[in-house]
């Protein structure tokens, strides 16, 4: 009979005692456990760390796409370890120590299988965990910023529940530095502002962080950032944060649709972080119309192309060629995501932007981790990019929303080769 996923089964007194002694004894490095429940896998790990000169145990749990990290003193860790080692259901446990590894597997039928590595002699030094990492948000004194926008608590420590958002902002800023940091501000830059428009700014984590990073780390003398969002409540909250940080004259929040907004000075950079569906395309179109030099966009959900795929007969009938794929909802969604971002990159290239699609952050921080990075500086409408675009577009017999949105400014490049 299979083991119920909620049924706990002991590893045996001798084995539990051995694991406990090795975890709280000398040479402990890490213990990792994967537990299968409800068709999903929950992961948990524990390792020794040094925080403020004191030895602690760090417990990290990952389930349902959410990661939690907590630190415990040795006494507290001993209590937590009881729950750790007595998890119900089928599971696998891997213990790593300086003298060797131990692997335990509990099958669905409740059978406990144990294997041990050969004797080892590894270093198990516990290194400080509270060291400052070299990240954009640590390249300047960001304590007041992080507390104001809610990523850090009153002590200045990043909230465990906000770690994913903190990582997203950090990596987004790192990509900004990659494209903008190559250009050292010149004396002429002091005569014109470095203007950024954040399209669909939401809670403004990125918007406000961008101002500080550009001004304090990259050294631009006159940075102005505009956060645009159609939701009045988030704009009101963002304005309060800007006032708290005394930067309301430099970071301005506007309640508006992206399509209805125009910055008072020429946009140097346009960004969007998880603007939904065609809002990302609207941000890209605005960047083209404003002649922004830099564009960085991390799309969110995108459904427009899903409505069009397979609705008509293309010259090669892709709906027939890919029928087995398109009938699977999740595969259809992912295919349309890939096609949408491919079309976006191609269109921006045709409009004169060097375009690159990258993973800007780990998928553990967000499943929506694709970024389109663009920098103006190539001749628009070159035959190669136009031909690639037409080939892909006509094969799928669709017209991407961004092409429609750009209208004549884009179609005139296609008419030369149509």
Domain-embedded: residue 130: no
- Burial of 305 (C-beta count, 10 Å sphere; 0-12/13-18/19+): buried
**Count of CB atoms within 10 A of residue 394's CB?**
14
**Cβ atoms of 11 and 85 closer than 8 Å:** yes
Question: Is 73 in the same domain as 165?
Answer: no
- Is residue 125 a part of any domain in this protein? no
Q: CA–CA separation, 212 vs 149, rounded Å?
A: 13
Going from the C-alpha of 120 to that of each of 14, 91, 335, the distances in angstroms are 22, 25, 47
CATH of the domain at 166: 3.40.50.150
Task: Evaluate whether residue 291 is within a structural domain.
Answer: yes
Whether residue 407 sits in one domain with residue 371:
yes
On whether residue 3 sits in a domain, the answer given is: no
Judged by average pLDDT, the poorest of 52-56, 121-125, 145-149 is: 121-125
DSSP lists the bridge partners of residue 356 as 373
* Mean pLDDT confidence for 240-245: 96
By residue count, the chain amounts to: 418
| Per-residue DSSP letter, 155 | T
Q: Look up residue 312 and give its two tokens.
A: 């008509």
Q: Which of 361-365, 372-376, 392-396 has the lowest mean pLDDT?
A: 361-365
**Mean of pLDDT over the chain:** 85
Please write the tens of the pLDDT for every residue from 173-212.
Answer: 999 998 887 555 555 555 689 999 999 999 999 999 999 9
SS3 call for 62? strand
Would you say residue 158 lies in a domain? yes
* 287 and 172 co-located in one domain: yes
Is residue 163 located within the same domain as residue 62? no
- Full-model pTM: 0.67
For the stretch 383-417, pLDDT in tens is 999 999 999 998 888 899 999 999 999 999 998 77
Total domain count, the chain: 2
Q: Counting Cβ atoms within 10 Å, is residue 375 exposed (0-12), middle (13-18) or buried (19+)? A: buried
- Within this chain, do residues 301 and 171 fall inside the same structural domain, yes or no? yes
Helix 329-350 vs helix 408-415: angle between axes, to the nearest 10 degrees?
A: 80
What confidence tens digit (pLDDT) does each residue in 23-62 have? Answer: 998 889 999 988 877 667 788 888 998 877 788 898 888 7
- 344 in the same domain as 256: yes
What domain range is 268 assigned to? 136-415
Element containing residue 71 per DSSP (H, E): strand 66-72
Q: At what angle do helices 329-350 and 383-396 cross, to 10 degrees?
A: 150
């Amino acid at each position: 009979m299979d083991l119920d996923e909620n049924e706990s089964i002991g590893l045996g007194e001798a084995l539990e005692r051995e694991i406990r002694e090795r975890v709280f004894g000398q040479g402990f490095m890490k213990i990792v456990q994967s537990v299968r429940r409800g068709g999903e896998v929950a992961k948990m790990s524990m390792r020794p760390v040094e925080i403020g000169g004191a030895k602690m145990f760090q417990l990290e749990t990952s389930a349902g796409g959410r990661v939690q990290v907590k630190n415990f003193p040795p006494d507290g860790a001993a209590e937590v370890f009881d729950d750790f080692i007595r998890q119900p259901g089928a599971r696998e446990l891997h213990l790593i120590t300086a003298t060797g590894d131990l692997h335990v597997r509990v099958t669905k039928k409740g059978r406990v299988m144990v294997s041990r590595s050969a004797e080892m002699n590894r270093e198990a030094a516990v290194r400080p965990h509270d060291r400052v990492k070299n990240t954009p948000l640590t390249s300047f004194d960001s304590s007041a910023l992080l507390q104001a926008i809610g990523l850090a608590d009153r002590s200045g420590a990043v909230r465990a529940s906000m770690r994913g958002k903190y990582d997203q902002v950090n990596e987004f800023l790192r990509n900004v530095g990659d494209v903008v940091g190559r250009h050292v501000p010149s004396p002429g830059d002091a005569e014109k502002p470095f203007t950024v428009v954040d399209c669909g700014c939401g809670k403004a984590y990125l918007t406000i962080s961008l101002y500080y990073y550009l001004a304090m780390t990259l050294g631009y003398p006159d940075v102005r950032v505009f956060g645009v969002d159609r939701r009045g409540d988030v704009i009101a909250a963002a304005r309060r944060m800007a006032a708290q940080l005394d930067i309301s004259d430099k970071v301005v929040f506007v309640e508006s649709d992206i399509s209805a907004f125009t910055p008072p000075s020429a946009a140097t950079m346009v960004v969007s972080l998880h603007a939904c569906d065609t809002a990302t395309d609207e941000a890209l179109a605005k960047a083209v119309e404003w002649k922004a030099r830099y564009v960085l966009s991390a799309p969110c959900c995108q459904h427009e192309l899903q409505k069009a795929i397979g609705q008509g007969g293309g010259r090669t009938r892709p709906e027939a060629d890919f029928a087995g794929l398109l009938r699977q909802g999740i595969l259809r969604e992912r295919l349309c995501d890939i096609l949408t971002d491919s079309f976006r990159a191609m269109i921006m290239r045709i409009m004169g932007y060097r375009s690159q699609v990258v993973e800007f952050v780990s998928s553990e921080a967000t499943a929506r981790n694709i970024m389109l990075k663009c920098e103006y500086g190539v001749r628009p409408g070159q035959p190669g990019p136009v031909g690639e675009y037409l080939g892909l577009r006509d094969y799928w017999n669709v017209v991407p929303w961004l092409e429609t949105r750009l209208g004549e400014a884009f179609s005139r490049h296609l008419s030369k080769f149509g």
